[in-house]
């Protein structure tokens, strides 16, 4: 019985010793500090807020992130959004407000998608941040 366990044990241990370490995260060097990164993914630092002027130039369905003010509500879920470069129409369902009150003097961020099939183009907002 002892002889049959020894070869079985060797068969299980030897492949682990010959395993090649090709993929995955290699932790042999320390990562550079965040301020020294030149390119590549950096999480929220890569997120960029665009202007209304830039948003109007984007393609239909583009993800839009704007910072400015809601200046007018024309009833229902239609609003005018303004930043320093201009205004754009938005569609903001009441569920997106989530009970929060937004006044024209509040600086907010909106995220959504651009609908260029409408004339003029509108942003369909799915998130508001105060």
For 37-52, write each residue's pLDDT tens digit: 455 454 554 456 789 9
Euclidean distance between CA atoms 116 and 104, whole angstroms: 25
Give the tokens for residue 16.
Answer: 């682990």
Tokens of 130: 């105060």
Assess contact for 112 and 64: CB atoms under 8 A. Answer: yes
Q: For the chain, where are the alpha helices, taking DSSP H only? A: 2-17, 52-57, 94-97
Which of these, 52, 74, 22, 70, lies nearest to 121 by C-alpha position?
52
pTM over 0.85: no
pLDDT digits (tens, 9 = 90+) for 102-126: 888 888 899 999 999 988 899 999 9
């Amino acid at each position: 019985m002892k002889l049959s366990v020894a070869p079985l044990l060797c068969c299980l241990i030897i492949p682990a010793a010959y395993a090649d370490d090709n993929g995955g995260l290699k932790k042999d060097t320390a990562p550079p500090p965040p301020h020294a990164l030149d390119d590549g993914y950096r999480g929220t630092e890569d997120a960029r807020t665009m202007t209304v002027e830039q948003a109007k130039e984007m393609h239909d369905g583009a993800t839009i992130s704007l910072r400015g003010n809601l200046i007018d509500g024309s009833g229902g879920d239609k609003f005018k959004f303004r930043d320093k470069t201009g205004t754009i129409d938005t569609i903001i369902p009441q569920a997106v407000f989530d009970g929060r009150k937004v006044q024209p003097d509040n600086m907010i961020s909106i995220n959504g998608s651009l609908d260029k099939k409408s004339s003029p183009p509108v942003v369909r907002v799915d998130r508001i941040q105060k």
